[in-house]
Amino acid sequence: MNTRIFLGVLLFLLVFVVVGYALLTEGLLDVQAQDGSGRMQILKASQDAKSIEIGAAIFEEYCYSCHGVKGEGVPGKGPQLNPYLFTTRYPELRAANYPNSLRNFVKIATAGGRPDFTTYWADKGEIYAAPMQTWSAFFGGPLRDDQVENVTNYIMSWEATAGEAVVIAFEKIGNDVTKELPAGDAARGKRLWDKEENYASGKPSPCAACHSLNPGETLVGPSLAGLASRAGSTVSGQDAATYIRHSIQAPSDHIVTGGNFAAGDNSLMPANLGNDMSPQDLADLIAYLLTLR
Amino acid sequence: MKIEPFNTLNEMRKQYGLKRTLGIKIDESVTRLTAGLGVNDIRGVLRGDPAPKPNPRVKPHTEGAFFHIWPSFYHEAVTKVFPTFRLGLISTAIFLIEIVTGLFLMLYYTPSPTAAYSDMLRILSNVPLGMLTRDIHRLAAEGMVLAVALHMWRTFLTGSYKKPRQFTYFTGVILLVFTLLLSFTGYLLPWDQLSLWAVTIGASMADAAPPPEVGRVAGLLLRGGLDLGAGGLLRFYLLHVFVLPLGVIVFLFVHYYKVVRHGHSLPPGLDAPGEDSARKVPPDRRVPFLPDIVTSELLWFGLIVALLVVGSAFFYDAPLENQADPSNTPLHTVAPWYFLWIQGMLKLGDKSLWGVVVPTILLVLHFALPYYDYNPSRRARDRRFAWAVSFFSVGTIVILSFMGSSAYLVGGAPETEVGFEFMRPERLGPEDIRNVPFDALRPGTYDTNALDESLKAEARPLYDSLDELKVLIERYQHPNLKKKLTSGHAIVKIEDWLKDKDGDVVLRRVSLTIEWLNEEGQVQSFVKYVYVHRDSSYPLLRLYHES
């Protein structure tokens, strides 16, 4: 009997000490709250970090093709988010008395999309093939609330380095279809296509977002499978390389029929793709496309 | 006779004085509350005095509401660890702990798919002792399944289900079923990938109930829809916090009270076969409930609490994976471990037969066991067949459980398997790249066919991980395999992805490309990627202990 009481008290003390230890390391003390050393603070940081990891993967799956690998934007597909959103767009909105926080702005746009083609880069001549769709499942999109939250957290994590926008100086080919091109390297062209290498502007090639290499598969534009075989005979007077070059730099010159590829007289394909390419980029890309027989 | 109590009290005060009157009144109240024990009796119990005659310590058993489900004395032979192993007591103790910890968790939990998971995160990172409470609740739940199952096995081995305790056994099987269901319904509540898919497997058994029309309705009733969603979560929640605990409490009382009626079954050797002397305990072998048994049981209870608290604080963390994603089935989904044997049987053939019909027959056989086992003896040497069946059953369950695990007969495409081992979407495996500390994830492109020895010196954990990846791929090059990664190798590319304000890298992207030759000798490739954040600290377990 006495042993039992003694052991019982010992056990009680043990539980008391362990729970007390747990409570003291939970993070309720001011010191822990400040330096983030409590268990709850560490776990919160870990949850936030995990949210960014998941958000990054969602961005790569859904957002990347229009907004660029790291949010730098894709000509004709979607505007730059990083850093333009942080350095210019949101400050402008605030100046115009937009009442919401930056985070809410990102979240609202992600969840609800955009109603029209309105672009905040109209002054730079940016137009897009389609307005941003709604992404939240609540509005009929594919993402659950927590996924919208995660991708918002990821986009917001760019803010820390948004001041460091780097402008790369390079000779751009633009819409000039007459300029002499250097000799093309098909292997580098493939790397550009695969986004393993970037254009001289530092942006990745957006081609694969709309053009499939599988025969007959239409993403937005027509499949490029077998392009090299038919390019020479599509427009009279243009050889294969010239035809491909015109298609990239001046897509509305000839619009492929047999699909929904035009809006009025204009091709859905952006007209400003050349702005990100150097003559070498264009030559390499054409050289690669000429291998697609 | 006076009816007004104030007068009586006043008269008492006049007669005995205030102090003594208060003493008498307190004693009366205590006696009423304990159903028979006065202040001095309780003092005697606590002091360990021998019981006076007549013994007031049996009164709570005969007159009280709660104590009457305990016998007023136990046979000395059943107060030792053997033969009961205290498993019934342990089960009850854990059930009480589950009620208390469960109530605390309920304060912070909303049974809705949109809120449940974020509530779980909040319990872990924003509720003081929330993680400890959850760990105890989860650990105790696993322990309860184990304790109840072992309790039943022990009952079988000592033949304690035999006459006159058939119905006690019957209620015991009910309690076992309720325990399994409690654990299973609770499994869904965190609403993470682990819980959703494990429970999806389990709940799909309802669909397999024959005939198909019944199965369809049963599945709909259980899940509240075609898939587990808001309706299913709410149903599981109500079963978990209300219906099943209520059922356990009701049958626990019946189960306990049957012990008062029939006495504890004595060790099989004490009685002649077919006889039961549990109700005729000789006075010298009686151990009074008050105080001996009560203190002993309280000590056991304290021991269980201490084990759970220490275990949860230092050795165990309840798993929590990513939020449930109904559109994304993880590779290698398995049922909770206590239902793995059913999953194993499913691999034998027809879902209705092995998933529903056979388990139902086994359950009915269990319920009916005391009614068809006509062997009167409880001694092991007279029950060789029963013991053989018992060990055979347990062995079969172990083997079936192994067959139910992902190690048995579920191999996806080899490249998917390698990708899974190297970058698990949820909890980490031993070969996972995320075991590599963030600092050791040096940016670069690494080919497992050409691992640079200099990496070994500079970033050992990364080198080891890539080396394990290489071994993993080589495992799928065995010539006897049907699907293999002929001359396969992997290219792992690590990129710095994001920096924080101070310019430190906080996010890295790791991509895995596996290349191999197919039967026609063409190069095939498989690509997978994962983002790793500096602060995400895989695995959770390590994190908690470092804090």
Helical segments of B355-441, H only: 358-372, 384-404, 414-422
Does residue A118 contact residue A76 with C-beta atoms inside 8 Å?
no
Per-residue pLDDT at B546:
37
Q: Are the C-beta atoms of residues B41 and B56 closer than 8 Å to each other?
A: yes
Q: Are A55 and A135 spatial neighbours (Cβ–Cβ below 8 Å)?
A: no
Q: Which residue has better confidence, B409 or A261?
A: A261
pLDDT tens across A217-243, in order?
Answer: 888 888 888 888 888 888 888 888 888
A14 touches chain B (CB under 8 A): yes
Give the chain A residue whose CA is nearest to the CA of B533.
A49
Q: Extract the tokens encoding B84.
A: 């009961």
| Closest among B67, B48, B157, B200 to B388, alpha carbons compared | B157
**Type of residue numbered B325:** D
**B129 interfacial to chain A (CB closer than 8 Å):** yes
pLDDT over 90 percentage in chain B: 53
Tokens 């609740």 sit on residue: B137
B371/chain A closest Cα distance in angstroms: 41
Q: Which residues are within 8 A (CB) of B524 and not within 5 positions of it... i.e. 6 or more apart?
A: B415, B515, B516, B517, B518
Range scoring the smallest mean pLDDT among A3-17, B210-224, B476-490? B476-490
Pairwise CA distance, residues B104 & B134, whole Å? 9
Q: Does domain B73-329 correspond to CATH entry 1.20.810.10? A: yes
Q: What is the per-residue pLDDT across B232-248, written as a single tens digit (0 to 9) for each?
A: 999 999 999 999 999 99
Instruction: Write down how long chain B is.
Output: 547
Nearby residues of B13 by Cβ (< 8 Å), 6 or more positions away = B21
Is the preceding peptide bond at B283 cis, omega within 30 degrees of 0?
A: no
> Is residue B195 over pLDDT 80?
yes
Secondary structure string (H, E, C) spanning chain A: CHHHHHHHHHHHHHHHHHHHHHHHCCCCCHHHHHHCCCHHHHHHHHHHHHHHHHHHHHHHHHHHHHHCCCCCCECCCECCCCCHHHHHHHHHHHHCCCCCCHHHHHHHHHHHCCCCCCCCCHHHCCCCCCCCCCCEHHHCCCECHHHHHHHHHHHHCCHHHHHHCCCCCCCCCCCCCCCCCCCCCHHHHHHHHCCCCCCCCCCCCCHHHHECCCCCCECCCCCCCCHHHHHCCCCCCCCHHHHHHHHHHCHHHCCCCCCCCEECCEECCCCCHHHHCCHHHHHHHHHHHCCCC
C-alpha R_g of chain A: 27
Phi/psi of residue A110, nearest 5 degrees: -65, -45
Q: Do the chains contact at B128 and A7, CB–CB below 8 Å?
A: no
Contact A28 B128 (CB under 8 A): yes
Query: Which of B429, B422, B425, B229 has its CA nearest to residue B322?
Result: B425
Q: Give me B57's structure tokens.
A: 């310590």
Task: Provide mean pLDDT across the span B304-315.
Answer: 94
Distance in Å, alpha carbon of A66 to nearest chain B alpha carbon: 18
Inform me whether the C-beta atom of residue A196 falls under 8 Å from chain B C-beta atoms.
no
Helix or strand holding residue B193 (H, E): helix B193-207
CB–CB of B324/B200 below 8 Å? no
Note the pLDDT of residue B5: 57
Q: Can you give the pLDDT at residue B178?
A: 97
Please give the Cα distance from B459 to B437 (Å, whole number).
10
| Contact yes or no for B356/B205 (Cβ under 8 A) | yes
Q: What is the largest CA-CA distance in chain B?
A: 111
CB B210 within 8 A of CB B357: yes
| Residue of A7, A40, A148 to mutate when probing chain B, most B C-beta within 10 A | A40
Q: Residue for token digits 């979240």?
A: A107
Residues in chain A: 293
For residue B63, what are the CA distances in angstroms to B56, B264, B521? 11, 21, 86
Assess contact for A211 and A244: CB atoms under 8 A. no
- Residue B336, CA distances (Å) to B197, B250, B253 in order: 10, 26, 28
- CB contact burial B351-373 (16+ within 10 A = b; e otherwise): bbebbbeeeeeeeeebeebbeeb
Decide if A53 touches B, using CB distance below 8 A: yes
Residues 496-525 of B with CB under 8 A from A: 497-501, 503, 506-507, 509
Pair B455, B463: CB distance under 8 Å: yes
Residues of chain A with Cβ-Cβ distance to B131 below 8 Å are 39, 43
How far apart are alpha carbons B401 and B392 in whole angstroms?
14
Specify whether the CB–CB gap between A203 and A71 falls below 8 A: no
Per-residue pLDDT, averaged over B87-115, amounts to 96
Query: Of the candidates B213, B212, B233, B33, which has an alpha carbon nearest to the alpha carbon of residue B113?
Result: B233
Chain B residues whose CB is inside 8 A of the A52 CB are 498, 507, 531, 533
Burial tier of B278 (Cβ tally within 10 Å: 0-12, 13-18, 19+): buried
Domains of chain A: 43-164 (1.10.760.10), 186-289 (1.10.760.10)
Question: Domain limits of chain B?
Answer: 5-69, 73-329, 414-546
Q: Which residues of chain A have pLDDT under 70?
A: 117-127, 163-169
Q: Mean pLDDT in chain B?
A: 89
pLDDT at B2: 56
Residues 58-87 of A with CB under 8 A from B: 60, 70
H or E element that contains B188: helix B166-188
Q: What residues of chain B lie within 8 A of the CB of A8, using their CB?
A: 295, 298-299, 302
Task: Kindly give the pairing relationship between strand B505-517 and strand B73-75.
Answer: unpaired
Query: Per residue in B501-533, pLDDT tens?
Result: 888 899 999 999 999 988 888 888 899 999 999
Rounded to whole angstroms, the Cα distance separating B97 from B137 reads 8
Task: Please compute, for residue B261, the number of CA atoms within 13 A of its CA located in the half-sphere on the CB side.
Answer: 12
**φ/ψ of residue A234, rounded to 5:** -80, -50
Whether pLDDT at B439 is above 90: no
The region that residue B475 occupies, defined by phi over 0 for left and psi between -120 and 50 for alpha, beta otherwise, is alpha
- B41 and B30 in contact (C-beta within 8 Å)? no
Give the span between the Cα atoms of A255 and A262, in whole angstroms: 7
**Model pLDDT for residues B127-149, shown as the tens digit of each residue:** 999 999 999 999 999 999 999 99
A15 touches chain B (CB under 8 A): yes
Using the predicted structure, report yes or no on whether residue B230 has a pLDDT greater than 90. Answer: yes
Cβ of B547 and A2 within 8 Å?
A: no
Q: Between chains, do A158 and B296 touch, taking CB under 8 Å as contact?
A: no
Rg (alpha carbons) of chain B, rounded to whole number: 30
Nearest to B333 by CA among B419, B415, B426: B426
Instruction: Give the contacts of B242 (CB within 8 A, at least 6 positions apart).
Output: none
pLDDT value at residue B544: 40
Contact A103, A151 (CB under 8 A): no
Rounded to whole angstroms, how far apart are CA atoms B223 and B324?
Answer: 15
Contacts of A54 in chain B (CB under 8 A): 322, 531
Mutate to test the interface with B, among A2, A31, A47 (most CBs of B within 10 A): A47
* pTM greater than the 0.90 cutoff: no
Residue B532, chain A, CB below 8 Å: the answer is: yes
* Residues B343-367 pLDDT 10s: 899 888 888 899 899 999 999 999 9
Kindly report the number of other CB atoms within 10 A of residue B18's CB atom.
10
B305 close contact with A: CB closer than 8 A: yes
> B107: Cβ–Cβ under 8 A, 6 or more apart, which residues?
none
pLDDT at B218: 92
Q: Which of B499, B535, B542 to mutate to test the interface with A (most CBs of A within 10 A)?
A: B535
Q: Looking at the predicted structure, is the pLDDT value of residue B72 above 70? A: yes
Question: Chain-centre distance of CA B140, in angstroms?
Answer: 6
Counted across chains A and B, CB pairs separated by less than 8 A come out at 128
Strands B505-517 and B486-499: antiparallel
Percent of chain B residues topping a pLDDT of 70: 97
pLDDT at residue B101 in the model: 97
Q: What does the alpha-carbon distance between residue B258 and residue A176 come to, in Å, rounded to a whole number?
A: 95
